[in-house]
Amino acid sequence: MATSSILPLFLVLLVSFGIEAGIELPGSIPPYIINLIGRTTAFDTYTLLNTLIHDATDPQLKQRYITCSSDYISTLEYFDSAKNAYISADYKRMKSNTSDVIKAVRDCDRRLPNDTSQLPVLNKRMQDVSSIIIILADFLSGP
């Protein structure tokens, strides 16, 4: 499902639970999405990259995987910062940190345009999750 179709469905889900913009979401939804979905997916992708680095026989490809691995170290830090921003109710910073995740993932995608591993799928998932976190940050900021 494309991000453009996920995001409206996510907003409909929030509204269907009676959640209005600017209020605290029940069940700590933002930390769950940031930590258990976003950060875990980033870590899983980082782990895959380490395997790809180890298995790569082409030196150029190996170097690209190493650079992407560095991008994913940054994404882990961005998720930690987004979580801290959420805790301090700094939703603008939460959104900014998550936008940095998307940029890092896109940089990785550009380095490996024809990659046949699971990396492009995981990069897409990371972008989708990050887009949802950005929507949550906007939602929490209120009107």
- Residue pLDDT, tens place only, 78-92: 999 999 999 898 999
pLDDT score at 17: 46
Q: What distance in Å separates the CA atoms of residue 61 and residue 38, rounded to the nearest whole number?
A: 26
What would the mean pLDDT of 131-139 be, rounded to a whole number? Answer: 88
The CATH number of the domain holding residue 77 is: 1.20.140.40
Q: Check: CB of residue 68 under 8 Å from CB of residue 119.
A: yes
Choice between 8 and 63, residue whose per-residue pLDDT is larger: 63
Whether this prediction's pTM lies above 0.85 is answered by: no
pLDDT band, very low/low/confident/very high, at 3 (cuts 50, 70, 90): very low
Answer whether residue 77 is part of any domain: yes
- Going by the DSSP 8-state scheme, the letter that residue 143 receives in this structure is -
107, part of any domain: yes
> By residue range, what is the domain housing residue 49?
28-141
pLDDT over threshold 90, residue 7: no
- Establish if 43 belongs to a structural domain: yes
- The DSSP-derived string for 21-72 is TTSPPGGGHHHIIIIIIIIHHHHHHHHHHHHHHHH--SHHHHHHHHHHHHHH
> How far is it, in rounded angstroms, from Cα 123 to Cα 106?
8
Assess if residue 1 is contained within a domain. Answer: no
The pLDDT-based confidence of 136 (bands split at 50, 70, 90) is confident
H or E element that contains 73:
helix 59-87
Confidence of residue 12 (pLDDT cuts 50, 70, 90): low
Average pLDDT, the chain: 83
12 is a domain residue: no
